[in-house]
Structure 1
């Protein structure tokens, strides 16, 4: 029984005792379609034991697969494959992809099946796994944007590489869904959108207009928002931002370039809500909402819609914007949004041709109270939105107090430009006036031969983190940038002022060594911190970049921890199924072997029953 096909068969045989009607005893709170045709539907949930439970529903009665990849490529993918054979027997096993032609069964079977069912049109598999296993072939389940892979075949003759394969980025570490939040009994809907705007034949357009907020006689709270994207323009709309305007502002009419010849269209800097490509609707926690209807509240907003028409498609008309949900049923606190990160222009730059380059932007909040005009109460941060452009690969937001790191407040080490969404924190975090907040962005520019500068275009770059908090204050943004003269001098370039410093960056002979020198200099340089209020009052502060401390998460070997490795809320079930995973040893299966297993299954089953 040393033949790899026979060992794989042993695992198939060991799963025959599965109860196909078994399911999780608590509902899985989160769900998403994994493909545009809605053939793959995933439900999932996680618990305090750091276990993730999945339920995959696929429109196929053949084999189905699900798993994770590092960057979306097949080699290195971590997958499970399972299904129901024509005679009703079940199969399920943990594999990893070696290359474009080879898939290998894991020695450590770290995915635990709970149920497999099949009807006339579809297959459903429910299973779970620890976030971090001790198997190097298993991709960790983290709070990053994960790249999922799903596949199926027309029948139970498994041919993974010939199946229908779908890849999708998804954030799994959600903590609340809308059903767990309070929906008011009375609410109203109000749309902030452009009206029949002709999208220019240009790779980047920032369209801005000014729109009044709902007129209400008493105080109301906005408690939810979602994007309205004109059908067929989904690939054009990059982001939508809603800025609150000071009631003292004199605002222009019409629609114009946000950052063009008329500076009035760049007025208003206090972000109310924001959406970026890939995002969905977002409901605020029960404790807070955006206040409207009081003398202190804004009456007008600036709507900013960023279009990316790289293919220069003509004659596109757009009516995209943001839909607000508001209610007279008030929440305890008014909320605000603090924009942090690296001041976008003109200091931010990225060297070309490097696999990793870190940029830093510091918020030193020591002058918050002076700028606010009154003492700033503790800011309770409950959510965040991270933002870079195409070169971004990772973003981290780190909180410091009295010179010591408190926590990594938010991070996405596998950032995906096509999935930018407002995400909630597991627990509300307190940010005090005087704290420092550092935003670190990691970039890759291997496909670029010239410098990338910070700026509004998708081909430029940004490094931002928007913090959603309550109760609100008057601070709208707090962002930093390095002393560019110091950076130029560190690179051997003369610079008498900031302008010459930026010009000097263009004179550098960029390679891996000079890129490392530039990153080191940007981190060592003094930071100039720009703090702005909703009334456009600006002050400058200084600071410096502190080190970021982070440690690896411990792994859990599912096989060695069988007695305790059970998802919360799950009923105990057959120990024989759990212990059977130790029978499955490494098997490199070219697909003729897999075909042999399934076509010859009844005969082999009879043979093994006789031997045993």
Structure 2
């Protein structure tokens, strides 16, 4: 029997009245493709007034259902509306909950908030669906409530086919879970912000995956297709880009990115034009194609550049290789083919500024980039020196309007900090709950002005609690990175900016090897190579040889140590010590190593969530 509680609830003893708000917005979510809810409607509807938001969840389940506001699309630190209709009492239960999660350790805690801010308006269930309607103040003064703002936020939706045994008891894991991006309080301007006039678009360049075959037996699958930029008769500006999504596969499309490749890349370096390219697939493609052109993630739409900037496409780019990497979430163990991709919108009406892309982070991804095993948190810092921005940025600086943090599977959090002398500004980007399978870019609004002489500092946090061997830098799933891709204007001649950690510094300072240990380790190398390593004078061929010959002995050495907290701290402090690294500026004139004298920059601590009142 359906249960429906009236839309006006009066609790006179509390002098509190809940009234319905018109549900003026709706978003259909990707339907489940398996189980008893296969193919059925999943929908979130909502309305807003000056003080409250009202949300209606319509999910194909007779059990519990939930909607969570997430900081990044992952579960950790998500603010959750949790609800169900009790099978025994017919009571409509609406709860305010908060998730703390450490997926690396397999820990998820969906706890009741001390302050219950969601108020039930109505609830019912029929033969196929449960519909819950609830309201909450926009500002609750609760540190465990995330704000409903005027920008898109990652939203988790999940449900289980059974109701909990009690209101305060354990909650069974979801049967279905997904992530979308929703702007709950859109302004009219937001819907068309920077959208170009179709009459101005003269060319459209598409990069697609080519008939990818997703197979059963693997949840997360990554595929790449390489293609070339076509011939162009003159310079164009891309005003933005649109996702080209195969609608049949929408529930499986997680995210995609398009990267341009180094001029050194050739087609014979990969196995065909379409191939698996996940972190465990061993391809070199992401190490030679790493200039991010654009991306998309589930729940988002087209991306348009600021009205005074465009991404340049020029005649000399003809024939340049571009790779599209697509991540498929195959939770329901399906088989299908896909041809999704991305389309750039080009105009010959050139805007005031060329947009550019800048990579900031750890430039070494070899043995000098090393993380100890069995650590719940290990922090690493890479600085873009003030000397690099002083040399390359225009006198009025650049304006950063987009940021994409990038690590691999051990990455657990990251922050990009901004300094001018000893003054620190608010972070440009911060993600305390990084999830490799749920990464994507974010808009920096308003654009951040970075002046010549400013310093950018990237901190990456890692979790290796399940690892028994050290994790080194590289492209594979058994390796890590620490980078951020920045979109900005006007374009400068600086392409990459960051830190290089000489291996000998790590061995001596980070791992505190004595002379005898270094000599024993050095037996794996030719004498001349070892001498260059000790002197810090490696040639272009040395790093690959050193990585190949020393990785085994160095791994054994690290495994054999008893890593006390004090020893791990010495290792971690190495990456925060200004004596440990060389500053690198990589630009139009090649690579420059610069002397750097930064202030002492201690590890970033994520501030507690402030209650918004």
Q: What TM bracket, shorter-length normalisation?
A: 0.5 to 0.7
Which residue in 2 is equivalent to 1:515?
A: 568
SS in 1 for 2:569: helix
Q: Choose which of 219, 239, 245 in structure 1 pairs with 2:236.
A: 219
CA contact (8 A) 1:191 1:324 kept: yes
Which residue in 1 is equivalent to 2:260?
A: 243
Task: Return the alpha-carbon distance in structure 2 between the equivalents of residues 517 and 44 of structure 1.
Answer: 51
Q: Choose which of 266, 270, 278 in structure 2 pairs with 1:256.
A: 270
Matched, 1:339 2:359: yes
Give the direction of change, closer, same or farther, for the CA distance of 1:309–1:385 in structure 2 (3 Å limit).
Answer: closer
Which residue in 2 is equivalent to 1:532?
A: 586
Task: Return the alpha-carbon distance in structure 2 between the equivalents of residues 320 and 383 of structure 1.
Answer: 23
Aligned residues: 530
Q: CA deviation at 1:355?
A: 0.5
Which residue in 2 is equivalent to 1:386?
A: 405
SS in 1 for 2:571: helix
Task: Return the alpha-carbon distance in structure 1 between the equivalents of residues 76 and 608 of structure 2.
Answer: 25
Q: Choose which of 538, 555, 560 in structure 1 pairs with 2:611.
A: 555
Task: Return the alpha-carbon distance in structure 1 between the equivalents of residues 48 and 564 of structure 2.
Answer: 41
Task: Return the alpha-carbon distance in structure 1 between the equivalents of residues 571 and 173 of structure 2.
Answer: 46
Q: Pairwise mapping of residues 259-408 of structure 1 onto structure 2 (< 5 A)? A: 270-274=291-295, 280-292=300-312, 294=314, 298-305=317-324, 321-328=341-348, 330-346=350-366, 347-368=368-389, 370=391, 375=394, 377-408=396-427
CA contact (8 A) 2:228 2:321 kept: yes
Q: CA deviation at 1:212?
A: 1.9
Give the direction of change, closer, same or farther, for the CA distance of 1:90–1:522 in structure 2 (3 Å limit).
Answer: closer
Give the direction of change, closer, same or farther, for the CA distance of 1:169–1:251 in structure 2 (3 Å limit).
Answer: closer
Task: Return the alpha-carbon distance in structure 2 between the equivalents of residues 163 and 549 of structure 1.
Answer: 31
Which residue in 2 is equivalent to 1:477?
A: 496
Q: Structure 1 residues 67-76 or 543-552, which shifts more? A: 67-76
Q: Pairwise mapping of residues 100-111 of structure 1 onto structure 2 (< 5 A)? A: 108-111=115-118
Task: Return the alpha-carbon distance in structure 2 between the equivalents of residues 32 and 39 of structure 1.
Answer: 8
Report which structure shows greater RCO (CA 8 Å, sep ≥6): 1
Matched, 1:424 2:443: yes
Q: CA deviation at 1:434?
A: 1.5
**1:287-339 deviation line (CA, Å, top 9, x unaligned):** 255344556x733432235589999x9x9987565332334455443211111
Q: Pairwise mapping of residues 130-169 of structure 1 onto structure 2 (< 5 A)? A: 133-134=141-142, 138=144, 148=156, 150-151=158-159, 161=171, 165-169=175-179
Give the direction of change, closer, same or farther, for the CA distance of 1:104–1:231 in structure 2 (3 Å limit).
Answer: closer
Q: Structure 1 residues 320-329 or 158-167, which shifts more? A: 158-167
Structure 1: gaps of 5 or more residues = 1-8, 557-564, 566-612
Task: Return the alpha-carbon distance in structure 2 between the equivalents of residues 271 and 73 of structure 1.
Answer: 26
Which residue in 2 is equivalent to 1:449?
A: 468
CA contact (8 A) 2:391 2:452 kept: no
Give the direction of change, closer, same or farther, for the CA distance of 1:338–1:231 in structure 2 (3 Å limit).
Answer: farther
**1:65-98 deviation line (CA, Å, top 9, x unaligned):** 4355999889998544366999999764546799
Give the direction of change, closer, same or farther, for the CA distance of 1:14–1:463 in structure 2 (3 Å limit).
Answer: same
Q: Choose which of 177, 188, 198 in structure 2 pairs with 1:185.
A: 198
Bigger Rg over Cα? 1
Q: CA deviation at 1:382?
A: 1.2
CA contact (8 A) 1:132 1:555 kept: yes
How high is the TM-score relative to the length of structure 2?
Answer: 0.67
CA contact (8 A) 1:400 1:407 kept: no
Which residue in 1 is equivalent to 2:530?
A: none
Task: Return the alpha-carbon distance in structure 2 between the equivalents of residues 291 and 526 of structure 1.
Answer: 36
**How large is the Cα RMSD of the aligned pairs?**
5.5
Task: Return the alpha-carbon distance in structure 2 between the equivalents of residues 424 and 165 of structure 1.
Answer: 32
CA contact (8 A) 1:243 1:273 kept: no
Task: Return the alpha-carbon distance in structure 2 between the equivalents of residues 196 and 432 of structure 1.
Answer: 45
Task: Return the alpha-carbon distance in structure 1 between the equivalents of residues 62 and 480 of structure 2.
Answer: 45
Task: Return the alpha-carbon distance in structure 1 between the equivalents of residues 178 and 208 of structure 2.
Answer: 29
**1:373-393 deviation line (CA, Å, top 9, x unaligned):** xx4642111111111111111
Task: Return the alpha-carbon distance in structure 2 between the equivalents of residues 194 and 228 of structure 1.
Answer: 11
**1:215-269 deviation line (CA, Å, top 9, x unaligned):** 3556342412436689879989986432276xxx687456726999999997676
Task: Return the alpha-carbon distance in structure 1 between the equivalents of residues 339 and 349 of structure 2.
Answer: 30
SS in 2 for 1:418: helix
Q: Structure 1 residues 154-163 or 415-424, which shifts more? A: 154-163
Task: Return the alpha-carbon distance in structure 1 between the equivalents of residues 160 and 450 of structure 2.
Answer: 47
Task: Return the alpha-carbon distance in structure 1 between the equivalents of residues 286 and 171 of structure 2.
Answer: 52
Which residue in 2 is equivalent to 1:58?
A: 58
Give the direction of change, closer, same or farther, for the CA distance of 1:91–1:325 in structure 2 (3 Å limit).
Answer: same
Task: Return the alpha-carbon distance in structure 2 between the equivalents of residues 156 and 77 of structure 1.
Answer: 19
Give the direction of change, closer, same or farther, for the CA distance of 1:460–1:231 in structure 2 (3 Å limit).
Answer: farther
Task: Return the alpha-carbon distance in structure 2 between the equivalents of residues 154 and 204 of structure 1.
Answer: 30
SS in 2 for 1:287: coil
